[in-house]
Structure 1
Amino acid sequence: MQQRSVGASGLRVSRLGLGTMTWGRDTDEHEARDQLAAFTAAGGTLVDTAAAYGDGASETLLGTLLGDVVARDDLVIATKAGLGARRDVAGRGTRDTSRRSLLTTLDATLRRLGTDRVDLWQVHVWSDDTPLEETLAALDTAVSSGRVLYAGVSNYTGWQTARAATWQAAVPGRAVPVSTQVEYSLLNRAVEAEVLPAADALGLGVLPWSPLGRGVLTGKYRTGTPSDSRAATSHLSSFVEPYLDDRSRGIVEAVVKAADGLGWTPAEVALAWVRDRPGVTAPVVGARTAQQLRGLLGVEERTLPPEIDEALDDVSALD
């Protein structure tokens, strides 16, 4: 698999990342093992997790596979802190990006992973309850202590991204963010307005999550909700439902039509489109099974023809 630099940094990762949000909950040890083996066999190096995924279960499961399925040094492990597994009254994950919470979470992450450092540590969410300077100081401490090699942000708006990166770059020795992880797909292109320009101007690599539109761009929901899909589960149905509207259906049909003409799968079309957008380092994909993941890994040999890329760009453009 081709490798790309993360923004203007020296960190290099595979141009496709393996997401582990469901590991330890919907994805058991045997399935996770098969996925990691398939991913690394294809040359993948970037594995993304978070302390909030399964309240640490994802990190724990990944940790059990290090040194067994793959050597620790052969992976670029990216994880996140600042978002809790508990939900507030509005159903949102609790946010705590205080210095105390972030550094305590980092130590717990390292114990779960069974390693002495994280390659890329990202602030999972912005929080108005903690001064940004305090949050960023925690990144400085993590990097200077050797527990973290590179720092990043996640789910920040354009102005939040710019403020964080500019603050860190103002004083030599601070941990300047090298990446931003945001939702980006043919069904959600909102980051193109401000986040992508900010990332480009400040030298941050972009790591899109849900590049397949929360699974909708695979075409599996065209005729209903499959019983084995994420939308059929009580804890993920609300995650998928926003993309089951008329606009999304029109985009999905365009993707399916393009896939039929190319002899590809819809997932390959949608993933190739995101992967090769300007500024993107590596889309992060999660799969229910290793078989599904292997199908997605085939996109490494695919490049969308310019006319197809432009047509999808037009049909999915924001008003």
Structure 2
Amino acid sequence: MHVRSVGATGLKVSRLGLGTMTWGRDTDEHEARDQLIAFAEAGGTLVDTAAGYGDGASEELVGSLIGDVVARDEIVVATKAGISRRTGTRVTDASRGNLLATLDGSLKRLGVDHVDLWQVHTWVDDAPLEETLSALDTAVSSGRASYVGVSNYAGWQTAQAATWQRAVPGRAPLASTQMEYSLLNRSVEDEVVPAAQALGLGLLPWSPLGRGVLTGKYRGGTPADSRAASSHFAGFVNAYLGPRSQRIVEAVAKAAEGLGWTPLEVALAWVRDRPGVTAPIVGARTAAQLRGALGAEELTLPEELVTALDDVSAPGGSEGGE
């Protein structure tokens, strides 16, 4: 698998990342093992998790496979802090104390002495930005994280945070920003992408397949084994099942048919090669699905199809957000 630098840093990752949001909850240890084996065998290195995924279950499962399925120095471990659901509801806390305590918990669950990339999971209005960012400085200076980044920050938030970190020597510069980005949601192109490119941040798109909708699996209804059929993902996916999304999905399917590709390969290749993108994060339900995504590695969309997909998906308001 080809590798790319994360922004203006020396950190290099595979240009496709493995997402583990469902690990430990919907994805059991056997399926997770098969996915990681397939990913590593394809040359993938970037494994993305978060303390808030399954209340730490994802990190525990990832940690159980490090050293068993893949050597620690053969993968880039990325995790996030700032979102918790331990109380049963979504709670955000980007205070210095909570972030560092969460990082220590992540290291324990992962069974490692440091993570390669540590990210603030979301912007939190009631946490002073300088306090949040000081936690990133401490993580790097203490050796608990090699690089740091942010996630789900708007354009001005991204620019403010990145500029703050660059303002004084000794602070840990931001390496990356993780945002939703796909043919169904191109809102990051307005402000986030320009800010990231200007300030040296690599973009790690989440849900690059439009929450699974761009694979075409929902063209004829909702499969019983799909995420849209599950209680905790139904609303997440249904936001992208409207008329606009249907038009884009049909265009992707038509392009795939003409190329002899799958719709998944078309959608993934499109976002992977957008300006500023380092590596889309792909979360698969099964190893077979993941292998389908890995098949896009050697594919490049013809320029005329890129233009056609750009036109049909031109931003005019997305049908959903996180």
Q: Are residues 1:223 and 2:210 paired?
A: no
2:118 aligns with 121
Shift of 1:256: 0.2
1:260 aligns with 257
5 Å-filtered alignment, 1:15-94, equals: 15-86=15-86, 93-94=90-91
TM-score, scaled to structure 2: 0.97
2:307 aligns with 310
SS state of the match for residue 77, structure 1? strand
Q: Are residues 1:105 and 2:114 paired?
A: no
Residues 135-183 of structure 1: CA deviation (Å, up to 9, x unaligned):
0000000100000000000000000000000001000010111100000
Q: Which amino acid aligns with 1:247?
A: R
Q: Which amino acid aligns with 1:185?
A: S
Q: Which amino acid aligns with 1:245?
A: G
- 1:236 aligned to which of 195, 218, 233: 233
5 Å-filtered alignment, 1:2-21, equals: 2-21=2-21
Question: Equivalents in 2 of 1:2, 1:201: separation in Å?
Answer: 24
SS state of the match for residue 108, structure 2? helix
Question: Equivalents in 2 of 1:57, 1:198: separation in Å?
Answer: 33
SS state of the match for residue 102, structure 1? helix
Residues 41-81 of structure 1: CA deviation (Å, up to 9, x unaligned):
00000000000000000000000000000001100011000
5 Å-filtered alignment, 1:88-167, equals: 93-167=90-164
State the percentage of identical aligned residues.
Answer: 75
Q: Which amino acid aligns with 2:156?
A: W
Question: Equivalents in 1 of 2:27, 2:289: separation in Å?
Answer: 13
SS state of the match for residue 293, structure 2? helix
SS state of the match for residue 301, structure 1? coil
Question: Equivalents in 2 of 1:8, 1:292: separation in Å?
Answer: 32
1:184 aligns with 181
Shift of 1:86: 4.3
Cα RMSD of the aligned pairs, angstroms, is 0.8
Q: Which amino acid aligns with 1:11?
A: L
Question: Equivalents in 2 of 1:318, 1:16: separation in Å?
Answer: 24
5 Å-filtered alignment, 1:287-302, equals: 287-302=284-299
Question: Equivalents in 1 of 2:188, 2:121: separation in Å?
Answer: 16
Shift of 1:301: 1.2
Shift of 1:9: 0.4
- Runs of at least 4 residues off by over 3 Å: none
Q: Give ranges in structure 1 of 5+ residues lacking alignment.
A: none
1:208 aligns with 205
Question: Equivalents in 2 of 1:295, 1:179: separation in Å?
Answer: 26
Q: Give ranges in structure 2 of 5+ residues lacking alignment.
A: 317-322
Shift of 1:87: 6.7
Q: Which amino acid aligns with 1:118?
A: V
2:194 aligns with 197
Shift of 1:85: 1.7
Q: Which amino acid aligns with 1:248?
A: S
TM-score, scaled to structure 1: 0.98
Shift of 1:263: 0.3
Q: Which amino acid aligns with 2:23?
A: W
Question: Equivalents in 1 of 2:168, 2:86: separation in Å?
Answer: 36
SS state of the match for residue 9, structure 2? coil
